Structure formats: C-alpha cells, structure tokens
Chains A and B, each alone.
Chain A
Amino acid sequence: MATVDFGGVTKTVCLAYTPDAGIGDYTIIHAGFAIAILDEQAALESLELFEQLGIVSATTDEIAP
C-alpha cells in the first residue's frame, strides 16, 4: 500500500498491479488501485506532435491558393 497525492487530497492505495511504481511517479488510480504509471516521455511526445500539427496546418494554409 502507498500514499498517493490527488492534487492535495491524499489516499492510501494498493500498488499490487504497479510493482515498479516509485516515489514521485504519477499513476492512474481506479477503485483504490494504481493500474498504470504515466510515461512522461510519451506525454511530451504527444504534446510535441500537437504542436507540429499546428505548424504543418498553418504552412499548408499559406501554400493553398
């Protein structure tokens, strides 16, 4: 069991399904269980992709007749 901070509210949750979770990790908690550890690298890549989309779209708009 571990203490998890939900943006200010803390709760005790079970880490049996995320044995690799460590102090400072962000997790998805459901029904008192951590079911996934969030991957910061993947999150950053998603945001970067959205940034790129905007640039690609803007460029396309400029080229369009």
Chain B
Amino acid sequence: MKYLSEFADPVLAQRLLDEISATVTRHWAIMEVCGGQTHSIIRNGIDQLLADEVELIHGPGCPVCVTPVELIDRGLRIAAMPDVIFCSFGDMVRVPGSAGDLFAVRAAGGDVRVVYSPLDAVAVAEENPSKEVVFFAVGFETTAPANAMAVHQAHERGLTNFSVLVSHGGGPPAIEAIVTSPESRVDAFLAAGHVCTVMGTRQYEAIVTEHRVPIIVTGFEPLDVLDGIRRAVRQLEAGRAEVENAYARAVRRDGNEVAKGMLADVFEPTDRQWRGIGPIPASGWRLTSRYRSYDAEIRFGVGDLAVEESGLCRSGDVLQGIIKPSECEAFGTACTPRHPLGATMVSTEGACAAYFQYRRLGDEVVPGG
C-alpha cells in the first residue's frame, strides 16, 4: 500500500463515474473548497469526465490567493528594511502586491529567503542574532500548526529577533460566508481533506444542520475527488445534508488533538479580509496575548498600511466561483503565470494557474461554464 497510485486507478475511476451518472437526475453545483483539489480535477480532466449535470465550482481554498494585498504590501515594506531577513514559503514570493513582489525586493538588495518549513526561519533567527528575522506565516489550518510551533519554539528559546507576519484563516466561517452569499449557487461542498486532518470533521456539523448543505470531507487523488462527488450527489438526490468523511485514511472526527492544542495556545480567532472576497467575521487568526510580541505588524509599525486593488483582475469572482478563470478577459493575455495580475495565477493552488497549466484556455467547452 503506497496510498497514492491505488487511488488513481482508471478502472475504479470509471466505476465511480458510472455510479455518479446512474445517480444524478438534475443539475447540481458542487464546490471543491481547496485549490489542491482544483488542480487534481483539472489535471485529471475530472470535470470533463463527469456527467453533464454535475458542475464543479472552484472555491477560495488557496491561502496565498486570499492573502489581502495590503498584507503583502506590509511584507514588502518590512522585507525592504535594513537588517531584516524576510523568510517565506516559495509561492508567496511571486504574488504581486500593489507595486512589485518579494522577488523585486530581493532584486533591489533585500534579504528575502525561501524556506521549506517555518522551523527553518527560526534557525535563521538563531544564526543571525544581529538581524530581525520575519516569517510570512501564510496558510490555512493545515499550515498553521507548523507556524504556531515556530512561534512557540522562538518563545521557548528566548529569541527576541524573530517575528511573524500572520495571514491565517479558514474554517467554518469561510464556508458559511459562501453559503449565505446571495450570489452563491453552491449545492454541496467538498471540504479540504488536509485541513480536516488537523481540525476534524466535527467542525462542520453545525453548518450542515443550520444551512442544510452537504459537506463531504474529500482527499486529493482522482478516486478521492470522485468519491467526494459521488457522496455529494447521493446526498443531494436523497434530500439529505450531512457531514461525510470520504478521506477516512487520513481524517478522524476530532482531527489532530495535539496540533489543535498548539493552535489554541498560539492563535485566537479574529475578523479578516479575504483578497477578492472581502471581510469575513471570525475567519482569521491572530497571535494570542501571550505571543503578541511576535507580531511583525506591531513590531515594524506597518499595521495601518492600506491600498487599492487593480481593477482588471477578477480573481475575486474566480475565488467565489462566480466565473471560471477562462471567463476573465485578462486570462492568458494580460495575465499569465510569468506576469500574473492576481494571486490565483501565481499559486500552485490557484484556479487560474490550473486552467493555464492544463490548457483550459476558454476556447473549448467547459461543462456548465
């Protein structure tokens, strides 16, 4: 058992597709929340293989994509300061702020470093006691435990030259915002399996009860995605709305208690802006009072920086599932992965990047699009 190739078996994929076709009787719009799922769907052509009645809407589950532009600008400003080493995950360094990106800061002489793990940034801080080391802590609940551990370790080791620029969020409030949006067409959700390895399936139970919308916790391999869709269609056709776990090999109802304990120690809920979407109450996290001194926005006094978004990019409509990437006028012309206008074209989890990479350029029929 390797857990990967077995879940990409074409014979079983066809059986799942047949089962979906045999069950579905009318149009249903199902949102895959996570950008990793979007890439799996487009790479494997799952949207093209599905029964015509099933429309997949690509959700906002790309943490890089929804990081507000003003926070990126704050990062750019800090990174350009003398005696600062600015550490970031790889896909954040190419995301455009209102003027330039972190690569541009590095080209201009700033010390911007790509790290694999936030613990690497803590190590940089230990090795460079005369510098301020800032880590751009971007991510949903899958990444947040790693970043929480970095802050915790810096605290344990008494590092006073380490801080984090926090862009964390996710959770039920984000799904709830989509459900209650007047523009929403979503009938059911495929929730992000890896988020749920940490947070568990229990967190969605209140939403399905209150809003009568099925939520299927779904993995990322082709059979995982197809099984998530199969279960969603089955619930919708039967008029049921429940939380189902289609990723049982990795997800438990209560999630990862150790990681959740660390999260509760380091972070607390706060209102946050989602790039392209707007403010969602209680959908973000900030450092708790115990760790507030590690907040880079406070340390460097950049918290009040505000900026305007470019008008051409429609990533907000893409992130809410209102349009498909290829319906944006700038897609593939003014906006490409080499010259992105918005984060959805940059990130490895962005829907625009998926459409561009797998040649969904809009001149072919996109089911339901």
Contacts and interface: CB of A to CB of B under 8 A. Distances in A.
Contact of A45 (B248, B251, B262): B248
A32 to B, nearest CB: 3
Contacts of A30: 142-143, 146, 194
Given A16-B149, A47-B6, A28 B194 contact: yes
Interface in B120-147: 120, 139, 142-143, 145-147
Contacts of A18: 256, 258
A47 B12 contact: yes
B125 to A, nearest CB: 16
A39 B89 CA distance: 29
A35 B145 CA distance: 9
A10 interface: no
Nearest to B258: A17
B145 A43 contact: no
Contacts of B12: 47, 50-51, 54
B149 A50 contact: no
B53 interface: no
A53 B9 CA distance: 14
A47 B11 CA distance: 12
B249 A17 contact: no
Contact of B120 (A32, A33, A49, A57): A32
Contacts of A42: 248-249
A43 to B, nearest CB: 4
A31 interface: yes
Interface string A25-60: 010101111011011101111110111011011001
A62 to B, nearest CB: 13
B298 interface: no
Contacts of A50: 12, 15-16, 223, 227
B89 A38 contact: no
How large, as a class, is the contact surface on chain B?
A: 35 or more
A32 B139 CA distance: 14
B197 A36 contact: yes
B295 to A, nearest CB: 20
Interface in B54-106: 89
Nearest to A44: B1
A16 B139 CA distance: 19
Contacts of B194: 28, 30, 35
A32 B146 contact: yes
Given A31-B89, A54-B12, A16 B258 contact: yes
Given A33-B117, A33-B145, A35-B256, A43 B3 contact: yes
B149 A26 contact: no
B22 interface: yes
A56 B68 CA distance: 48
A39 B248 contact: yes
Interface of B: 1-3, 6-7, 11-12, 15-16, 18-19, 22, 89, 116-120, 139, 142-143, 145-147, 149, 194, 197-198, 223, 227, 230, 246, 248-251, 256, 258-259, 262
20 contacts: A16-B149, A17-B256, A17-B259, A28-B194, A28-B250, A31-B147, A32-B118, A32-B119, A32-B120, A36-B197, A38-B250, A39-B248, A42-B248, A43-B248, A46-B227, A47-B12, A50-B12, A50-B15, A50-B16, A56-B19
Given A14-B149, A54-B19, 8 more contacts: A31-B147, A33-B145, A33-B149, A35-B145, A35-B197, A43-B6, A53-B19, A57-B15
Interface of A: 11, 13-14, 16-19, 26, 28, 30-33, 35-36, 38-40, 42-47, 49-51, 53-54, 56-57, 60
7 A-B pairs closest in CB distance: A32-B117, A54-B15, A36-B197, A31-B146, A43-B249, A42-B248, A42-B249
